Structure 1
Amino acid sequence: MEFSLPTDLPFMSLRAPDPVLCTALQDALNLSFAAHSEFLPWAKPYTSKDEARAFMLRSVDDFNSETGERRFFIVADQGPAIIGCIGLKPRGRNRHEVGYWANTEYSGKGHMRRALEALVKCLPDQTFYLTTSSANLPSQRLAVAAGFQLIRVFARARQTTSHGVQDTYLYRLKNL
């Protein structure tokens, strides 16, 4: 998957993984734990600097791999803050599974939508899929706002302590 990162995003940029972002990653994850823990099984109450660095180094390796998840960090132009992250997992035949998370300090301002739209636009002739919990209304709104269409509901497919039994929604975006 070769392409150029978008350069026309106001107030932010999309960046490949870079160890220089470790402290900003640590800050974003620690600040956003409460929101992330509702839906992301990997969220933890505290991420140390060493853990952030190890994650970033794994992200660099994955990014450079043909089969690894490519994580794109959304970085604020002012200061080294991470606004969020969008991951693309290759699923074969021009298909990708999308995952994302947002720094709660920047939530609700349209940054994730603009970054997601710009990223998929850079990859013509690709199809993107994402799943979200029926309880995760912000994620559903983001998917629809970025042009994804709900194509299937998996009833009672997940369960969390925060939200009990939930459906899983499958969204698709064909980028022509």
Structure 2
Amino acid sequence: MTRFPEQIACPRCLLVAPAIDLSQALQQALNQSYALHARFMDWPRPERSLVDVEQGLRAATDAFHSQEGEKRYYLVSPRREQVLGCVGVELGADPLHYLLGYWASANHTRQGYMSEALRQLLPLLSHYPVRLTTSSANLASQRLALRSGFRQIAVVPNDRHDPQLGWHDTLVYEITRYQQAQGVPLRPNA
């Protein structure tokens, strides 16, 4: 698996490995973002305690430094006082690929931070194709995937349920090693 650096600089933010000093900022970001993410993902909870967040960061730190665990990066402001979002990468199988997941803090969506993060992170993942999944109801995530050079490769029908949205599909996207090496398209204006 790729060796992941502890920090990756982006034009307006940083991607940093999990660290306990992010606890309060992460708690705030998660709690403010519940309503946004609960419609599309199964992990959000209405209220995260500081103890819960610290436990999660300890587990994420252990996984980041292990050979096989998820490599989770937090998008933070330059002085690390705000968590803007998160990107996680893990190795999948059959065939070998990276599985990418991401979320943006509700206060920092549609500002280009995630595009910047993916532009810096994807070149590190050139060993295998990279896949991500998103809800068919999450148009912002679909646009980000396409702007970042991913192409839709599959649809899993009626795979997700939300009380407000009802049943909806999971969309699977992929970017290949060749596309990453060639810089396709990872547009600067994404």
- Aligned residue for 1:114? 116
Matches within 5 A, 1:77-96: 77-78=78-79, 80-92=81-93, 95-96=97-98
- Aligned residue for 1:75? 76
Matches within 5 A, 1:159-174: 159-174=161-176
- Aligned residue for 2:186? none
Matches within 5 A, 1:1-176: 1-4=2-5, 5-7=7-9, 9-78=10-79, 80-92=81-93, 95-174=97-176, 175-176=180-181
**How far apart are the structure 1 equivalents of 2:144 and 2:152?**
12
Amino acid at match of 1:141: R
Amino acid at match of 1:37: A
**How far apart are the structure 2 equivalents of 1:83 and 1:112?**
9
Check conservation: 2:136, 2:168, Cα contact below 8 A: yes
**How far apart are the structure 2 equivalents of 1:67 and 1:79?**
27
Deviation string 1:42-66 (CA, Å, 9 cap, x unpaired) is 1111111101100100100111122
TM-score scaled to structure 1, two decimals?
Answer: 0.93
Query: How many residue pairs get matched?
Result: 175
The alignment's C-alpha RMSD in Å is 1.5
SS in 2 for 1:87: strand
Deviation string 1:111-136 (CA, Å, 9 cap, x unpaired) is 00110121111232321101111111
Query: Which runs of 5 or more structure 2 residues have no equivalent in the other structure?
Result: 182-190
Structure 1 stretches of 4+ moved >4 Å: none
SS in 2 for 1:152: strand
**How far apart are the structure 2 equivalents of 1:151 and 1:123?**
19
SS in 1 for 2:40: coil
TM-score scaled to structure 2, two decimals?
Answer: 0.87
SS in 2 for 1:126: coil
**How far apart are the structure 2 equivalents of 1:29 and 1:53?**
12
57-66 vs 122-131, which moves further: 122-131
Deviation string 1:153-172 (CA, Å, 9 cap, x unpaired) is 12222222121111111000
Check conservation: 1:153, 1:168, Cα contact below 8 A: yes
Check conservation: 2:8, 2:16, Cα contact below 8 A: no
**How far apart are the structure 1 equivalents of 2:109 and 2:115?**
10
Check conservation: 1:128, 1:173, Cα contact below 8 A: yes
Check conservation: 1:76, 1:83, Cα contact below 8 A: yes
Amino acid at match of 1:47: R
**How far apart are the structure 1 equivalents of 2:166 and 2:48?**
26
